[in-house]
Chains A and B, each alone.
Chain A
Amino acid sequence: GAVVSQHPSRVICKSGTSVKIECRSLDFQATTMFWYRQFPKQSLMLMATSNEGSKATYEQGVEKDKFLINHASLTLSTLTVTSAHPEDSSFYICSAEVTPRSPEQFFGPGTRLTVL
């Protein structure tokens, strides 16, 4: 199946710094990618939908100025957590569609962010 990678797999940063997380589709082109976050013992929560070459669509309650999403190519989407605070500590997961209306989405392995 198609492979989605994320980098880094885990990151620890100080409060107030910015962190960039990369999501790559390794063997396919993804027109649309999705970003989720997951707090401990909770389900995945959709943050935003990222379309190549256009602005991301954010879910209600997600601050677009804090979580910057860039989808500059068909194989790469990035999520930047700006001025991170301890409450932003979470498991961030991206997913991608192989083709529009493809029934299967492929998920990255996740990035564990810890903000001290």
Chain B
Amino acid sequence: DAKTTQPNSMESNEEEPVHLPCNHSTISGTDYIHWYRQLPSQGPEYVIHGLTSNVNNRMASLAIAEDRKSSTLILHRATLRDAAVYYCILRDDFQAGTALIFGKGTTLSVSS
């Protein structure tokens, strides 16, 4: 599985935008970029995913570099409930039954 690199931690203030970076220089052509987050003592939850184009959903936006070697998860207005570990994961979605392989992720702290 292609590897991703994320900062260990980031801090934000409530109601401010947060940009969470992820480097994936060895991404292959069939790898999708997935973001999941895990709140304390809970299972991870899906945030967003994309292949080449930028993506938006109700939770966040995903900005993907033109060469696909990096991406940024954007939380437009952070809330206290967004404090979690955010994982950037590459997965070949063209293959059925492929597990998500988690790295260390970025621990996001949000202050009021």
Contact = CB atoms under 8 A, between A and B. Distances in A.
Q: Answer yes or no: are A and B bound together in one complex.
A: yes
Interface of A: 1, 4, 6, 31-32, 34, 36, 43-46, 49, 51, 91, 93, 95, 97, 100-101, 103-110, 112
Contacts, number: 60
Contact of A109 (B43, B96, B101, B105): B43
Contacts of B43: 4, 6, 93, 95, 107-110
Given A6-B43, A45-B102, A101-B96, 13 more contacts: A31-B96, A43-B104, A44-B38, A46-B102, A95-B44, A101-B95, A103-B49, A103-B93, A104-B49, A105-B100, A106-B46, A110-B41, A110-B42
Contacts of A109: 42-43
A43 B46 contact: no
Main secondary structure of the interface of B (DSSP, over half): loop
A32 B96 contact: yes
A100 B97 contact: yes
Interface in B52-105: 85, 87, 93-97, 99-105
